[in-house]
Structure 1
Amino acid sequence: MKIRDVTHEDKAALISLCQITELFQPNELEELSSMLSAYFEDGLDGEHKWLTDEEDGQLRGVAYYAEETFANGVSNLLLIAVHPEYQRKGRGTEFLRHVEAELRRMGKRILIIETSSLDSFEATRAFYRKNGYDEEARIREYYNPGEDKIVFRKVLL
C-alpha cells in the first residue's frame, strides 16, 4: 500500500474508481471531476487534499478532505473509497488512519464525515463506527426525500 498525493494524471482513474464502488450517481461523478479539475487549477494546498492508495501502478483508493472554514481545527473527510476487490481487508482502515495521522500532524482537533442514511450505505456507516466515529448529527431529508445526512465525528487530539 502506497499512499500519495494525487496528480493530474490520476483524474480519470480516480473517477473510474469512484464509479466502480457504485456509491456515486452520474451527476455526483461529474461533480467529483469538476472538484478535481479545480483542485489542480487552483494549486495544491494543505487545507484541501486529495490522496490515493496505489499498488502496482493501479489506484486502489481515494480520499479527499478539507478544512472546515469557520471551525478551529476541524476537517471534513468528504470522500473515501476503496476499490471493491480491496474492501473488507483492512485497506480502508489503514487509509483512514493515514488521513487521521496527517491531520493530527497539522494540529487538527476533530474529523467529521458525512454520509447517507440509505440502506446501501450501511456498510459505510458500519466502517466509520468500527473506526471509532460516533454519529453526531442527522439532518432529515437532506439529500432527497427519505434520505438523511448522517454526520460522524472523531476527536483526533
Structure 2
Amino acid sequence: MNQRIRAATSADIDGLKKVADSSGLFPSEYLDKMIFDYFNNSNTEDIWFTCVDDNKIVALGYCVPEKFTNGTYNLLAIGVAEASQRKGIASKMMEYIEQLLKNKEARILIVETSTDDAQIGARKFYKQIGYTQEAIIRDFWNDGEDKIVFWKKL
C-alpha cells in the first residue's frame, strides 16, 4: 500500500463519489452541492480531505468549525471505500484531521453518529481512538433512532 492523506482537490470528485457510494456514507449525488463552497469560496472554513492509495481515492473526510464556538469542530463525514476497509485507513484519517485541527489551535472535535445497528462499528471505533460518548439526543434521526455525539479534547 502506498497511502497518502491530503486535502481534496476538484480532480478528486469522481473518486470521492465512488467512496461515498461504496461506503454507504451518503448518496454520491449529494456531493456536488456539499463540496461546492469548498471549491468556490476562498474564505470557506470547510475541510475536505482524502486518502489516496496507489493513485486511487479510497477515503473521504469532511469537517467544519461549529459556528459561534471557539475552536470546536464537527467531523460531518468520514468514509472508506468498501474494498479498503479494515486496513487502518479510518484511523489514519482521524489522526490527519486531529493534527490539522491542532495546527489551527482547535480545542475540540465532535463526531455524530446514530444508534442504528449499522453504526455499531462506528461507535466502537470512536471509543477505541479516544472519543468519549458525550450526548444522546433521542429520536433525532427518526423515531427510535437517536443521535450519539462523541467528543475529544485536542
TM-score normalized with structure 1 length: 0.90
> Does 1:49 pair with 2:51?
no
The match for 1:151 is 149
Number of equivalent positions: 152
Q: Secondary structure at the match of 1:69?
A: coil
Match of 1:100 in 2: 98
Structure 1 residue 13 corresponds to structure 2 residue 15: yes
- Residue in 1 aligned with 2:39? 40
Partners of 1:105 and 1:22 lie apart in 2 by 31
Could you tell me how far apart the structure 2 residues matched to 1:38 and 1:61 are?
20
Structure 1 residue 18, shift from structure 2 partner: 0.9
What's the offset of the Cα at 1:113? 0.4
Contact 2:111 2:150 in 1 (8 A): yes
Counterpart for residue 132 of structure 1: 130
Gaps of 5+ in 2: none
Partner amino acid, structure 1, of 2:23: T
Q: Which amino acid aligns with 1:124?
A: A
2:149 & 2:16 partners in 1: Cα distance?
A: 24
1:109 aligns with: 107
Instruction: Letter of the 1:16 partner, please give it.
Output: K
Aligned-residue offset at 1:32: 3.0
Q: d(CA) in 1 for partners of 2:29 and 2:138?
A: 25
CA contact (8 A) 1:11 1:36 kept: no
Q: Structure 1, unaligned stretches of length 5 or more?
A: none
SS at match of 1:135: strand
- State the SS of the aligned residue for 1:75: strand
Name the aligned partner's letter for residue 66 of structure 1. V
* Structure 1 residues 92-128: Cα deviation after superposition (integer angstroms, max 9, x where no partner): 1111011101101110110000111100011011111
Distance 2:117 2:134 in 1: 19
Cα RMSD (Å)? 1.4
Deviation at 1:12, TM superposition (A): 2.2
Deviation for aligned residue 1:44: 6.2
SS state of the match for residue 139, structure 1?
strand
Question: Shift of residue 42 of structure 1?
Answer: 1.9
Structure 2 partner of 1:62: 60
2:25/2:77 contact within 8 Å kept: no
Aligned-pair CA distance for 1:144: 1.3
Q: Aligned partners of 2:16 and 2:41: how far apart in 1?
A: 19
